[in-house]
Structures are given as structure tokens and as C-alpha cells.
Chain A
Amino acid sequence: MTSQTQINGPARTDRPCRRPEPSLTYQPNVDILDHGAEVLFVADIPGARADGIDVTFEDGVLAVQAAVPPRELPGRPLRQEYGVGDYRRSFRLGDGFDPARISADYRRGVLTVRVPRLAAVLPRKVEVRTA
């Protein structure tokens, strides 16, 4: 006698079966600038919705995600030289950065993330006292 355990339960008929829409994800170009006290990540993410941008810093990894609305082409497409899709990129930074003071701003299609270094790791100038 075989017993079958139903893991997922009976098939649901009240919910329409919806396939996820295929979409491409792109890695944006990012300029990285080290200014000593902070490191700047400047990412080109044109077309991204300001409310769809996600910047997280966890376990020394800075991750940037941005949702981009699908291409709306009024009429017949004649030329498509760039792809449209969400942006995603992450960087391993390691220790020495202060997650509490990270800030980001989005302007003209460019996201700038400032990651300050912890004060403890910054070079400290030592004053020399003379007798």
C-alpha cells in the first residue's frame, strides 16, 4: 500500500496561472572614486524610477538595484540600440566602512552612493610635542 503525501496541497483553481514576464538585467557602468574619507560609487542608470532604486550594504557588500519601466514605444520600432531592463550590480568592500552614514542621491539618470570610511581606520595625524 503506498501512501502519497501531498506537499503542495490540491491544485488551486481560483488563481490564474501567470508566468513571470521575461526581463533582462543589466550591469550599469560604475565609476569608483576614492576620496580618502569616503568612497564614491557613481552609476549610470538612465531611465530608472527614483522610487525603484534599492541600495543596501550588508556584510561588506554594497548592492545596487534599480527598477526600470519597460520600453514604451509609441508606434512601430525602427531602431533599438539599447536594451531596457532592471539594473543590478554589487561590490565587495570589506571592513572599514561605516554603513550608518551611507548616503545616495539620484540625479539626471546617475546614482551617486557615498560610502564613508570608519573614523577608526582613517589615518590619524599625530601631533609631535616638543619640550
Chain B
Amino acid sequence: MSLIPFRTKRSGGMETGSMATLADFRNEMNRLFEGFFSRPLTTSSWFDTIEPGQWLPTVDMSENDTQIHVRAELPGIDPKDVDVSVSEDRLVICGEKKSTAESSGEGWSHRESQYGSFSRAIPLPESVDPAQVTARYDKGVLTVELTKSPSSAARKVPVLTK
């Protein structure tokens, strides 16, 4: 019984067998720490719960006077497998990243990408018009453009003087 598996000749320096789980653990810890230090503490992403078997895509959000832009990194996804839905105060992006036939075939593998279903509900800072939303997917990035509803546009209040 060997506690530490020998590296096979073909591994060429990559982990294999039970050592792969150690690499997974290390990568996960790296990712956790990177996420801790890179995310601004004021986001509500801390409250996103992750179901086992799920992963969360990271998003960018920006706004100007009339629009809100949301970008999510979703490499390797078939646009048909993504659902984007909008209500007045939140944007929900969910879908599934399926393994391709190649990546699920036989052969020793070292996997770092996350596969499976994902779902993110992003609260929006202002209410938007659900009818005026566009989404496009290019080079692995999903960009959603939302138009703010006119009622939420700031109205200048004239100051009356006697």
C-alpha cells in the first residue's frame, strides 16, 4: 500500500491520482484568497450562496445616466444554454456550462475549469425597463445592457423663492 503515489513517466510534472485532489485544494484556496482580496467588501456577493455542484460567474457592473451595463465572464458556453431574465430591480443570469464531448472522454485529465449549472441574481441599483434589455455573447463574455426606467431618472426640483 503506498500512501504517496509515484508520478508516472507520462505525467511530465503534472499531478495525477490522489495528488490531483491536493492540487484542487490548493487551487481552491488560491481562488478563495484571490476572491477575498480582489472583491470590494461592499458588494453583496458575500451573500450569494453556492449550492454544491454550482459555480458562480464573476460580473462587472457600471452605469451612466440612462443605462446599466453588466458583464459576466462565461467562457465556453453555448448561448442557447444561458438564460437572462430581468425584473424591475434585479437581473438573473443562469444556465449550464456543459462538458464537451472531448472533455468528458477517456484519458487522464487535470481539470481547473468549473462546469455545471450556475445562477446569479444581481440586484440593480435602480429600476429598469424589462422591455429594453439587450444581451450579447462575444469571446466568452456576456454583456447585458439595461435601460433605466424613466420614472427612476432624477428629476430636478426647482427651488421656489418668495
**A105, B38: Cα distance in complex, Å:** 31
With contacts A47-B140, A79-B59, A82-B58 taken as known, whether A32 is within 8 angstroms of B67 at the C-beta atoms is: no
Tell me which of A48, A49, A74, A83 has the highest count of chain B C-beta atoms within 10 A of its own C-beta: A74
How long is the Cα–Cα vector from A110 to B10 in the complex, in angstroms? 25
CB-defined contacts of B158 to chain A, threshold 8 Å = none
Q: Is the interface of B mostly helix, strand, loop or mixed?
A: loop
Q: Which B residues, 81 to 120, have Cβ-Cβ distances below 8 Å to chain A? A: 102-103, 105-114
- A119 in the interface (beta carbon within 8 A): no
B61 touches A44 (CB 8 A): no
Size class of B's contact patch? 35 or more
CB distance from A82 to the nearest CB of B (A): 4
Task: Check B40 against A79 for contact (C-beta < 8 Å).
Answer: yes
A interface, size bucket: 35 or more
* Stretch among A4-12, A15-23, A35-43 lining the B interface: A35-43
**Contact between chains at A32 and B109 (CB < 8 Å):** yes
CB contact list, B8-62 vs A, under 8 A: 10, 12-14, 38-40, 43, 45, 58-62
Docked CA distance A75–B68 (Å): 8
In angstroms, Cα B100 to Cα A112, docked, is 12
- Residue B139 contacts which of A42, A46, A77 (CB distance < 8 angstroms)? A46
Residue A63 lies at the interface, judged by CB distance under 8 Å to chain B:
no
- 9-residue interface stretch from B70-78, B128-136, B149-157: B70-78
Q: Chain B contacts of A46 at CB under 8 A?
A: 73-75, 139-141
Give 12 new A-B contacts, CB below 8 A, not counting A31-B103, A47-B73: A29-B112, A34-B10, A34-B108, A35-B106, A35-B107, A42-B113, A44-B75, A46-B139, A76-B62, A80-B60, A93-B12, A108-B78
Q: List 26 A-B contacts (CB under 8 A).
A: A29-B112, A30-B110, A31-B103, A31-B112, A32-B109, A33-B103, A34-B108, A34-B109, A35-B105, A36-B107, A40-B103, A44-B140, A74-B69, A75-B64, A75-B67, A77-B62, A78-B63, A81-B39, A82-B58, A82-B60, A108-B76, A108-B77, A108-B78, A109-B74, A109-B140, A109-B141
